[in-house]
Structure 1
Amino acid sequence: MSRQPDPNRRNEQSRQAIVTAAADLCAEVGFAAVTVEAIAARAGVGKQTIYRWWPSKAAVLLEYMERERERAAGFPDTGDLAADLLTQTTALQRLFDSDAGAVWRGLLIAAQSDDVAADGVRALLEQAIVEAKQRLTKAQGTDELRSDADLDMVVEIIFGPLYHAWLLRTRPLPKAYMSDVLKLVFEGLKPRDRPLIR
């Protein structure tokens, strides 16, 4: 008896080829220059295949970014808040320095005028903020973080400098950048009756 090809596997292979092709093109030529036609040609599929799964190139690239963020910049929980923040923010900085950074930059720019990009970017950011706040809430319960700290503001204070320097390219970003940022941040976030972070 001959084995029939699994259409689900074939579809998944095509889907991954499309996502990878879109990300590679974005890193090579920039978001604005990427077209659905170019993605289809690079992935070896018809344009209609892409539109069957996604409404636009932004939607394809958002799927790529969701996958990359989960793989490379998830939020750890070792019981040491400072170490966990350093691990996560350093991983995020490395992500920004990779091809995924070019994709994310393009999506952030596109989000200013493209509703699909704006909705997707907002959803990814909200997910990341929820994960950060969950970790920060736990730290408040173990007295690693002031109980009266506004967690939305804490997230902005921690991640804002990295986004600002990376997006606006106002300064070089050495490997120790987030270590220096967090040392400054924790001066204000530490509980008042505990010693300074080392």
Structure 2
Amino acid sequence: MRARFAKILRREAISRKTTSTELDPLSIRLIELMQKDSDIGLAELAEAAGATTSSCWRRLDELRKTGVIQRSVAVIDPAALGLTVNVFVQVTLEKQNEAALRAFQNRIARRPEVMECYLMSGDADYLLRVVVEDLAQYHRFVVDHLTTIPGVANLRSSFALDQVKYTTALPTAHLRGSEAVGDPAPRRKPPRGSARRKTE
């Protein structure tokens, strides 16, 4: 258990270090626009951001080099590929030492059905999101792959009935400060002489 939580703390420290990048308003605006449509043209992007094309190009290049923009991909409709079953799987290991965690993660990383995998606190050690064609395919995944990983002690599967929300766009409001959280703007003092005089 100590090894598992030590690993979690190390990852959180790395995450805090990674997200400490300071982003100015132009960078934030470009991120918002690119998250909506990464195929947007540079001229259209510059117009929407209220900046020149050269400044947008330089800023995008910087965001890519620093890893803020990791990659640009196409988001595919799973139903178009016949992948209509979403399964969330809680996995508990027999041991939570470094070797067991690494062995499980290496095996899971090679499985295309696993869309997401998280090391968790609480009762389960891992939470997986698995996308498959049907229940038969999920059964084969469990029997042929998941249960063959050494050290897997328990599985608990939950099937999604409907997808209420799905997005790949990360929130950016917290980067804008008080203006983004609905704080009222400071009231301006009226100019002298603008107040109405009382009628006598």
TM range (shorter): under 0.3
Structure whose CA Rg is larger: 2
TM-score (norm 1): 0.23
Structure (1 or 2) with the greater helix fraction = 1
Structure having the larger proportion of residues in strand: 2
Structure with higher RCO (Cα < 8 A, 6+ apart): 2
